């Protein structure tokens, strides 16, 4: 086993005093406001009278709350019950999550007429049932209180008749329709017929996070301005160059699935793909990589050029950094050895870099193998040049009408002032935004579009692969689909619904039945999987591209990146996405400047080998604010976080923040807008630039990070070996039994692995006849994307607590993804470990509860009974995994007493918490799960409601439970369902044919239980992380 | 001290005696298997036909006398429209008489044998004697299980006896002391005896505490709750006299956690035709007379329906009836009807009482956790019949070996907290 120490925080790495104190004082709470009673009760901070007041109040309140009379509860039956709705039984409708360039086929779980959960659609060959955090959270947006509720002219409410009349009288060519990437074939048809009505009009596609570079490069070298399909599953060598393809790049859900296929290893024949990642800031993709090679953003071109020449048999030149050069040579060697089984992807938006990447892929024979031209992406079509031209035309006054859908340049364009000025010169401006976003705020006419769960529609994310949308709820507000508006204004009397049905009925064939069948499955796929196709490569541009490679900058450089949860800014209005910790920084609700430990030491004087300085930086939630100034004078003030794995001279800032409450309460006060720091070079937006100046401001700002929450002292030398196991592939091949033997050695005094269950304890053994639930998590497949976390939150009514509460360690997530570093501080290995209640069969939490509110079930569940819990928190204190969560405040408004949320002792809750308690927001709650009130402990229940439901289904059909045999499932827990890389397996472990039993049986050499030696007997097991690298990283940064 | 011990011993004896005595309260009545024909009638026919009264369709008593042969009846039940098309005069007259409402086709649902079983049942069924007015047959309820008076008498006798014995003991002791020449201690009246005061104080404390907490626990419990509903809907008339199957109206008890109150269109299925009430006299809980026909009129006012020849019911004009919910579980309790009805094959009456004898429904069961858990402890699951339980190999073996004779809900984890609380 690699002799690495794993650490979650700098304090843990150094075992600082701050870290150890935090371990001891787990809850970090000032207790009740009666403390210090030195000098008599009257002098106490809370004197006796206050105590009596509290006592009197609570008695009176309890009496009032209890009431004396039976309240009359009405129950209103349907007048005429729709045939397919049974109250209390959920229906699933296939639809498609479409948000700008994101397209994911999903099923909407509709309970009593309300969509309450999004599940992946297994029938989609693209996503294979996977989802993303944003797709999971999208159902909350349906009930967002900030949604626009009616059409407006100059912010005044009007009827659709009035607004149609006004627009039709005013609408004049040339019209510009500005959208984000439109994947819907019918919508494109409608747009085109609309444009035909107004001569001189055009459709401009604009994506905030631009893919101009790769699109233009493909246009130059292949004559097609599109992105081809990638087949990561066919690649043995994967090279990412600044492309966060598991997080945000092009089609991360699809790529996660493909990627995970070669990451899960067969123990009998342990091979896996090798993933190199060249990058400047630590991305989730880089974190999953086997080897990460750091370079400055400005060096990207040189890196690609050097790789190209090395692959072509020349020497890599132009690279001065030895480590980087070595890395390039190593990668080149592997690429040459695996021609036709390798893939290089780059996230650069520089057309020249992308041309070289294409040349590189040609050189290693990727086309037709790992890159497929038979089907191309429609999800990224934005054209920066077209958009820049449009902005110029608007300023010149040559655009008479502007229709905006999806795009929000007033916020996302680097020079938003120019866009806004231009927009003011357009006589007719129409926005179809569903929230009052920055662009809608300055448009004259606003006709809010439906949420996708209320919409009809279709999408073609990749050519030949279609996904359909159908409404799952009646429109909540006076909104209208924007296609309906376009049809109406272009004089077409059909509704979009009819238009869509006619279009598809004609195309599919088989009449109404054919259409209904397609709608039911939600996807229309090509008849057969097409073999990968290559197209001729035009290499003429390569030499020019090589000559245009920019020279490296020696200054500090900036990378603007997207966070998985927030994306281009679409997630900013969603509290679940804001509160989802970033996979890397584990920070919530904010963006910040990511800097490297080296830069922190050099510039800010924070030496992470120094205990005091480490604690001073890390323990305090108030982080220092830096002012960052770009060469063009644009500046931004943000707190900084030290992120190991950041290139020494690079800083990173996430886009998508700094929005106002107009788009939702969740956006209040979260971060700053970083889009103005983008630059526009050679007709493409650039998200990196050099020449950055950083200055201290002397201000501080609160950043709510969850990385140090729920830590606990590690027993064995602080190495965390008993919590997390990781080893390299060569080590595993050499000594495959090392984990098994290690476990055997550790447990040998207690009967060894085989007898540990019964001999390791003085407690009796309890039988689990029938069902015994178990979960197996393959750490090799987890890339920290967070889809499971959001899925869990929404399935289980986990409350939003807001930034201030997260900062006070009050986050409520039942499932967290622990991020561990190991090795070199400047470029560490990163391991993700989903951590949830382990449902220990000998649970330490159970026997400390004084009121028996947590107990073990016969099926191996560690049960939490909210109505019994009195909130002693002994269980959380005694839980070695730190997965129990306490409701410190009335986050959900579930208490019997109204207005119990903002109390002195608890503190004021953020606006976003209150917002989730509105009637509208509460519609998303799962009616099968109790909404917990204040003072109650909670934790993962293994989705008990789903287990019960699954068993009931099997019982009604009088057959044994199916949990994964032949891929048939009665029960999938929420996190398992959401995972795009299938790293979670769940089922009945008593059933030898179940998927979880198979996973345990097939992987005895990697299987381990976290903290097994405690004899907690977890029902969750992990499969150890295997990293395909021959570098055994030793601690380098270890001056202290 | 000795005396006090004796008293406590005696008291303990009394208490335990009473406790054991109270355990002998159990009323479980076995029910004979329903006749197959009756069961078939109730599931398939009773929604439109009654035995002795015309409903959506005609009363079925004497149906065999009205048709020429059983074969004809078979044909009619299987496919009434075919019989109508054949021009059968009786069938066509019947069709016209009942507003040209076509009878459901039972082809493939009921075999000839089934229909014969139903016909046999119809033949054998006797019209129940109409109960005399004012005597609605509920007198049998009161006697029987209430033994509290007996408890009080026994307790009283025992208390008096122990008091007398104690006094005798005291006096004897005093006499003995005198005889042995000990100085007589000044007589302390019993009400100033500190031991007694302490004992009584503790007793009062325990009693008041018990009374307070038991009352506090029962706050918001609705045992016996019988609210006045917006319409005097009598389950006795529908489920009892007319023998409509519970699941005809509460369909979703088979599919969902909620049994659901039927939508208005289910009421109107029958009440389009049944416009007046002509059954036994109805009385509400306070003994006031209820006019059944007027109650049906209330239904029509919700339904927006005017009965009369050619009247059409239009659901779009109807308003839902704001029924008052009787059975309530707190939000932190999950209960699933389909689990109990379909999987457990529990009779509705087990939890809802003799619905067929209730006019307005009242809450029959306490719906407390203790009540739920007790049932889970004693009730056997459909262990051998349901394939789901095949995975419990251990219990199957024990059944085979005769170690156990049935598998209760508890044995398969039915008393685990998270079966109902999550």
- Residue spans of the domains in chain B: they are 1-22+147-184, 36-124, 188-216, 235-367
Residues A363 and A390 in one domain: no
Residues A203 and A269 in one domain: no
List chain B residues with CB under 8 Å of A930: 331-332, 421-422
The verdict on a CB contact (< 8 Å) between B391 and A770 is: yes
Q: Is A82 a member of any domain?
A: no
Instruction: State mean pLDDT over B274-288.
Output: 86
pLDDT band at residue B95 under the 50/70/90 scheme: confident
Q: What is the pLDDT of residue B215?
A: 81
CA distance to partner chain A, nearest, from residue B180 (Å): 56
Q: Is A312 a member of any domain?
A: yes
pLDDT band at residue B90 under the 50/70/90 scheme: confident
Q: What is the pLDDT of residue B31?
A: 34
Angle among Cα A933, A937, A941 to the nearest 5 degrees reads 100
Residues A277 and A166 in one domain: no
**3 state DSSP class of B315:** helix
The HSE-up count of residue A430 (CA atoms within 13 Å, CB side) is 27
The verdict on a CB contact (< 8 Å) between A866 and B332 is: yes
CA distance to partner chain A, nearest, from residue B40 (Å): 22
Rounded to 5 degrees, φ, ψ at A347 are -95, 5
pLDDT band at residue A30 under the 50/70/90 scheme: low
CA distance to partner chain B, nearest, from residue A276 (Å): 45
Q: What is the pLDDT of residue A826?
A: 86
Higher pLDDT, A937 or B275: A937
Does the pLDDT at position A317 exceed 80? Answer: no
List chain B residues with CB under 8 Å of A868: 417
Q: Is A913 a member of any domain?
A: yes
Pinpoint the alpha helices (H) of A425-565. Answer: 482-489, 496-508, 511-521, 540-548
Count: domains in chain A: 4
CA distance to partner chain A, nearest, from residue B29 (Å): 28
The verdict on a CB contact (< 8 Å) between B334 and A928 is: yes
Does the pLDDT at position B25 exceed 60? Answer: no
Instruction: State mean pLDDT over B65-79.
Output: 84
Q: Is A63 a member of any domain?
A: no
The verdict on a CB contact (< 8 Å) between A77 and B323 is: yes
Of A333, A360, A377, the last residue of a domain is A377
List chain A residues with CB under 8 Å of B263: 77-81
Instruction: State mean pLDDT over B176-201.
Output: 80
* CATH (domain of A512): 3.40.50.740
Residues A233 and A165 in one domain: no
Q: Which residue of B has its CA nearest to A862?
A: B418
CA distance to partner chain A, nearest, from residue B295 (Å): 18
Strands (DSSP E) found in A666-757: 679-681, 684-686, 688-702, 704-705, 726-728
Interface test with B, best of A68, A86, A894 (most B CBs within 10 A): A86
Q: Which of A18-32, B303-317, B383-397 has the lowest mean pLDDT?
A: A18-32
Does the pLDDT at position A713 exceed 60? Answer: no
Adjacent-strand bridge partners of A830: A821
Does the pLDDT at position A158 exceed 90? Answer: yes
Q: What is the pLDDT of residue A65?
A: 57
List chain B residues with CB under 8 Å of A77: 260-264, 320-321, 323
Does the pLDDT at position B33 exceed 60? Answer: no
Residues A943 and A1019 in one domain: yes
Q: What is the pLDDT of residue B141?
A: 42
pLDDT digits (tens, 9 = 90+) for A558-584: 999 999 999 998 899 999 999 999 999
Q: How far apart are CA A398 and CA A387, in angstroms?
A: 14
β-pair type (A202-205, A175-179) = parallel
Q: Which of A178-182, A206-210, A725-729, B8-12 has the lowest mean pLDDT?
A: B8-12
List chain A residues with CB under 8 Å of B389: 770
Strands (DSSP E) found in B293-405: 323-324
Among B256, B319, B417, whose Cβ lies nearest the Cβ of A89?
B256
List chain A residues with CB under 8 Å of B320: 76-79
Higher pLDDT, B411 or B309: B411
pLDDT digits (tens, 9 = 90+) for A793-820: 999 999 999 998 888 888 899 999 989 8
Q: Which of A36-40, A904-908, A1017-1021 has the lowest mean pLDDT?
A: A36-40
Q: What is the pLDDT of residue A134?
A: 93
The verdict on a CB contact (< 8 Å) between B227 and A79 is: no
Q: What is the pLDDT of residue A1?
A: 46
Tokens standing for A193? 């017929």
Provide the residue range defining the domain that includes A641: 553-705
Instruction: State mean pLDDT over A10-19.
Output: 78
pLDDT band at residue B146 under the 50/70/90 scheme: low
The verdict on a CB contact (< 8 Å) between B262 and A77 is: yes
Q: Is A21 a member of any domain?
A: no
Among A75, A769, A859, whose Cβ lies nearest the Cβ of B261?
A75
List chain A residues with CB under 8 Å of B392: 769-770
Does the pLDDT at position B408 exceed 70? Answer: yes
In 3D space, the residue among A216, A241, A131 whose CA is nearest the CA of residue A681 turns out to be A216
List chain A residues with CB under 8 Å of B331: 930-931
The verdict on a CB contact (< 8 Å) between B227 and A771 is: no
The verdict on a CB contact (< 8 Å) between B338 and A861 is: no
Q: Is A47 a member of any domain?
A: no
List chain B residues with CB under 8 Å of A961: 388, 391
Among A73, A952, A959, whose Cβ lies nearest the Cβ of B338?
A952
Does the pLDDT at position B154 exceed 90? Answer: yes
CA distance to partner chain B, nearest, from residue A74 (Å): 5
Q: Which residue of A has its CA nearest to B390?
A: A960
Q: Is A84 a member of any domain?
A: no
* CATH (domain of A690): 2.40.40.20
* CATH (domain of A741): 3.30.70.20
Contact A246, A237 (CB under 8 A): no
Interface test with B, best of A82, A88, A841, A997 (most B CBs within 10 A): A88
CA distance to partner chain B, nearest, from residue A727 (Å): 38
CA distance to partner chain B, nearest, from residue A927 (Å): 9
ipTM of the shown complex: 0.84
pLDDT digits (tens, 9 = 90+) for A432-442: 999 999 999 99
| End-to-end alpha carbon distance in chain A | 25
Higher pLDDT, A618 or B418: B418
Range B36-124 has CATH code 1.10.760.10: yes
Q: Which of A542-546, A995-999, B28-32, B216-220 has the lowest mean pLDDT?
A: B28-32
Q: Is A142 a member of any domain?
A: no
The verdict on a CB contact (< 8 Å) between A858 and B328 is: no
Q: How far apart are CA A561 and CA A935, in angstroms?
A: 39
In 3D space, the residue among A353, A695, A688, A355 whose CA is nearest the CA of residue A553 turns out to be A688
Residues A767 and A912 in one domain: yes
pTM over 0.90: no
Average pLDDT over all residues of chain A = 87
The verdict on a CB contact (< 8 Å) between B412 and A770 is: yes
CA distance to partner chain B, nearest, from residue A993 (Å): 12
Q: Tokens 């006045």 map to which residue? A: B228
The verdict on a CB contact (< 8 Å) between A72 and B227 is: yes
List chain B residues with CB under 8 Å of A929: 422
Interface test with B, best of A79, A857, A941, A989 (most B CBs within 10 A): A79
Q: How far apart are CA B264 and CA A767, in angstroms?
A: 50
β-pair type (A90-99, A102-111) = antiparallel
Residues A278 and A190 in one domain: no
**CA gyration radius, chain B:** 31
The verdict on a CB contact (< 8 Å) between B336 and A948 is: yes
Residues A362 and A393 in one domain: no
Residues A302 and A445 in one domain: no
**3 state DSSP class of B97:** helix
CA distance to partner chain B, nearest, from residue A516 (Å): 25
Interface test with A, best of B418, B419, B420, B421 (most A CBs within 10 A): B418
Contact A780, A287 (CB under 8 A): no
Q: Which of A875-879, A986-990, A1033-1037 has the lowest mean pLDDT?
A: A1033-1037
Instruction: State mean pLDDT over A844-872.
Output: 91
Adjacent-strand bridge partners of A726: A1025
Does the pLDDT at position A784 exceed 50? Answer: yes
Residues A433 and A497 in one domain: yes
Of A324, A349, A377, the last residue of a domain is A377
pLDDT band at residue B282 under the 50/70/90 scheme: confident
List chain B residues with CB under 8 Å of A965: none
In 3D space, the residue among A148, A177, A204 whose CA is nearest the CA of residue A485 turns out to be A177
Does the pLDDT at position A539 exceed 70? Answer: yes
Residues A769 and A894 in one domain: yes
Residues A230 and A170 in one domain: no
pLDDT band at residue A458 under the 50/70/90 scheme: very high
Angle among Cα A733, A736, A742 to the nearest 5 degrees reads 140
Does the pLDDT at position A770 exceed 70? Answer: yes
């Amino acid at each position: 086993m690699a002799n690495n120490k794993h650490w979650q925080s700098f304090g843990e790495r150094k075992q600082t005093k701050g870290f150890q104190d935090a371990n001891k004082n787990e809850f970090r709470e000032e207790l009740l406001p009666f403390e210090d009673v030195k000098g008599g009760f009257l002098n106490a901070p809370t004197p006796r009278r206050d105590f009596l007041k509290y006592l009197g109040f609570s008695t009176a309140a309890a009496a009032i709350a209890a009431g004396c009379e039976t309240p009359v509860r009405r129950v209103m039956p349907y007048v005429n019950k729709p045939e397919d709705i049974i109250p209390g039984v959920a229906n699933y409708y296939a639809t498609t999550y479409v948000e700008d360039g994101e397209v994911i086929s999903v099923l909407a779980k509709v309970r009593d007429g309300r969509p309450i959960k999004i599940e992946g659609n297994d029938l989609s060959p693209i996503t294979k049932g996977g989802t993303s955090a944003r797709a999971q959270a999208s159902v909350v947006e349906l009930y967002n209180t900030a949604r626009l509720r009616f059409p407006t002219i100059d912010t005044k409410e009007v009827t659709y008749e009035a607004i149609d009349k006004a627009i039709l009288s005013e609408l004049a060519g040339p019209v510009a329709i500005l959208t984000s990437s439109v994947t819907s074939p019918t919508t494109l048809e409608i747009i085109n017929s609309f444009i035909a009505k107004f001569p001189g009009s055009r459709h401009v596609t604009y994506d905030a996070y631009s893919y101009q570079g790769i699109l233009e490069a493909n246009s130059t070298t292949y004559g097609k301005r599109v992105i081809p399909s990638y087949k990561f599953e066919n690649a043995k060598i994967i090279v990412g160059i600044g492309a966060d393809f598991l997080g945000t790049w092009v089609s991360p859900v699809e790529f996660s699935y493909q990627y995970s296929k070669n990451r899960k290893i067969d123990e009998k024949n342990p091979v896996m793909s090798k993933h190199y990642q060249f990058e400047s800031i630590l991305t989730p993709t880089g974190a999953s990589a086997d080897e990460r090679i750091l370079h400055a953003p400005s060096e990207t071109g040189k890196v690609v050029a050097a790789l190209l020449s090395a692959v072509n048999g020349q020497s890599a030149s132009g690279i001065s950094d030895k480590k980087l050069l070595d890395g390039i040579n190593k990668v080149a060697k592997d690429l040459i050895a695996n021609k036709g089984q390798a893939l290089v992807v780059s996230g650069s938006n520089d057309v020249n870099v992308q041309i070289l990447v294409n040349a590189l892929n040609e050189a290693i024979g990727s086309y037709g193998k790992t890159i497929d031209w038979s089907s191309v992406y429609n999800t990224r079509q934005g054209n920066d040049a077209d958009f820049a031209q449009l902005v110029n035309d608007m300023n010149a006054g040559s655009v008479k009408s502007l229709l905006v859908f999806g795009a929000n340049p007033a916020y996302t364009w680097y020079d938003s002032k120019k866009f806004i000025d231009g927009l003011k010169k357009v006589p007719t401006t129409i926005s179809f935004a569903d929230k009052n976003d920055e662009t809608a705020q300055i448009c004259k006419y606003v006709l809010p579009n439906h949420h996708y769960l209320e919409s009809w529609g279709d999408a073609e994310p990749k050519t030949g692969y279609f996904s359909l949308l159908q409404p799952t709820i009646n429109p909540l507000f006076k909104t209208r689909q924007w296609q309906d508006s376009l049809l109406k204004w272009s004089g077409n009397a059909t509704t979009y619904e009819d238009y869509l049905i006619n279009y598809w009925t004609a195309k599919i064939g088989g009449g109404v039945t054919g259409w209904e069948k397609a709608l039911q499955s939600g996807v229309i796929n090509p008849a057969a999987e097409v073999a990968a196709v290559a197209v001729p490569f035009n290499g003429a541009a390569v030499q020019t591209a090589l000559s245009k490679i920019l020279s490296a900058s020696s200054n500090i450089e900036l990378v603007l990146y997207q966070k998985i949860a927030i994306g281009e800014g679409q997630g900013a209005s969603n509290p679940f996405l804001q509160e989802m910790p970033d996979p890397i920084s584990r920070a919530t609700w904010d963006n910040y400047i990511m800097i490297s430990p080296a830069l922190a030491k050099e510039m800010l004087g924070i030496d992470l080998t120094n205990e005091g300085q480490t604690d001073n930086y890390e323990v305090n939630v108030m982080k220092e604010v830096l002012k960052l100034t770009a060469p063009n004078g644009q500046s931004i003030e943000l707190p900084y976080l030290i992120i190991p794995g950041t290139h020494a001279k690079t800083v990173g800032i996430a886009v998508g923040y700094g929005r106002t409450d107009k788009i939702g309460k969740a956006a209040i006060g979260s971060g700053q807008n970083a889009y103005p720091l983008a630059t526009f070079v050679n007709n493409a937006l650039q998200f990196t630039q050099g020449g950055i100046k950083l200055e201290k401001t002397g201000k501080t700002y609160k950043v709510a990070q969850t990385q140090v929450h729920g830590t606990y002292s590690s027993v064995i030398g602080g190495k965390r070996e008993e919590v997390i196991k990781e080893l390299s592939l060569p080590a595993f091949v050499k000594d495959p039994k090392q984990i098994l033997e290690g476990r055997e050695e550790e447990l040998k005094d207690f009967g060894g692995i085989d007898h540990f269950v019964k001999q390791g304890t003085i407690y009796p053994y309890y039988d689990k006849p029938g069902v015994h639930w178990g979960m197996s998590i393959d750490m090799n497949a987890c890339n920290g994307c967070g889809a499971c976390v959001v899925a869990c939150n929404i399935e289980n009514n986990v409350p939003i607590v807001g930034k201030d509460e997260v900062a006070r360690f009050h986050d409520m997530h039942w499932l967290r993804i622990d991020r561990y570093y190991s090795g070199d501080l400047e470029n560490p290995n990163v391991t993700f470990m989903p951590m949830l209640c382990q449902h220990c069969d000998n649970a330490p939490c159970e026997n400390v509860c004084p009121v028996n509110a947590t107990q073990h079930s016969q099926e191996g569940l560690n049960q939490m009974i909210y109505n019994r819990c009195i909130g002693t928190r002994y269980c959380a204190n005694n839980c070695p995994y730190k997965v129990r969560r306490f409701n410190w405040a009335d986050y959900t408004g579930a208490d019997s007493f109204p207005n119990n949320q903002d109390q002195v002792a608890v503190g004021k809750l953020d606006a976003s918490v209150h917002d989730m308690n509105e009637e509208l927001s509460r519609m998303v709650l799962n009616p099968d799960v109790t909404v917990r009130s204040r003072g109650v402990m909670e934790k993962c229940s293994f989705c008990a409601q789903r287990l019960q439901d699954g068993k009931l289904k099997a019982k009604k059909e009088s057959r044994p439970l199916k949990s994964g045999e032949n891929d048939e499932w009665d029960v999938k827990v929420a996190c398992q369902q959401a995972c795009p890389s299938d790293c979670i397996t769940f089922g009945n472990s008593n059933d030898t044919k179940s998927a979880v039993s198979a996973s345990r049986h097939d992987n005895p050499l990697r299987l381990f239980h976290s903290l097994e030696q405690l004899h907690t007997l977890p029902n969750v097991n992990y499969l150890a992380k295997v990293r395909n690298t021959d570098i055994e990283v030793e601690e380098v940064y270890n001056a202290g | 001290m000795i005396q006090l011990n004796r008293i406590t011993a005696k008291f303990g004896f009394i208490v335990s005696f009473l406790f054991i005595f109270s355990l002998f309260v159990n009323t479980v009545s076995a029910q004979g298997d329903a006749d197959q024909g009756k069961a078939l009638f109730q599931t398939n026919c009773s929604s439109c036909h009654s035995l002795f009264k015309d409903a959506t369709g005609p009363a079925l008593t004497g149906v065999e006398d009205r048709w020429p042969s059983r074969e004809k009846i078979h044909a009619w039940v299987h496919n009434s429209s075919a019989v109508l098309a054949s021009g059968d005069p009786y069938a066509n007259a019947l069709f016209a008489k009942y507003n040209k409402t076509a009878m459901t086709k039972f082809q493939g649902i009921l075999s000839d044998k089934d229909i014969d079983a139903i016909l046999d049942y119809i033949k054998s069924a006797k019209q129940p004697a109409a109960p005399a007015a004012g005597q609605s047959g509920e007198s049998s309820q009161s006697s029987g299980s209430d033994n509290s008076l007996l408890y009080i008498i026994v307790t009283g006798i025992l208390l008096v006896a122990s008091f007398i014995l104690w006094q005798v003991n005291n006096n004897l002791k005093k006499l003995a002391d005198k005889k042995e020449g000990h100085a007589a201690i000044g007589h302390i009246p019993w009400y100033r005896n500190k031991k007694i005061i302490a004992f009584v104080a503790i007793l009062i404390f325990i009693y008041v505490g018990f009374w307070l907490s038991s009352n506090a626990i029962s706050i918001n419990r609705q045992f016996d709750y019988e609210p006045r509903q917006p319409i005097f809907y009598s389950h006795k008339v529908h489920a009892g006299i007319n023998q409509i199957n519970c699941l005809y109206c509460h369909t979703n008890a088979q599919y969902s956690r909620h049994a659901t109150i039927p939508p208005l269109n289910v009421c109107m299925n029958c009440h389009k035709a049944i416009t007046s009430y002509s059954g036994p006299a109805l009385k509400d809980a306070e003994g006031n007379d209820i006019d059944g026909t007027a109650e049906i009129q209330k239904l029509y006012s919700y339904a927006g329906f005017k009965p009369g020849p050619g009247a059409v019911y239009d659901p779009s004009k109807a308003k839902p009836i704001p029924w008052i919910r009787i059975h309530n579980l707190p939000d932190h309790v999950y209960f699933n009807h389909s689990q109990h009805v379909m999987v457990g094959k529990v009779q509705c009456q087990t939890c809802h009482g003799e619905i067929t004898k209730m006019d307005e429904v009242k809450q029959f069961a306490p719906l407390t956790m203790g009540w739920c858990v007790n049932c889970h402890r004693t009730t056997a699951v459909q262990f051998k019949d349901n394939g789901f339980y095949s995975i419990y190999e251990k219990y199957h073996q024990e059944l085979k070996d005769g170690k156990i004779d049935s598998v209760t809900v508890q044995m398969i984890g039915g008393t685990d907290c998270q079966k109902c609380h999550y």
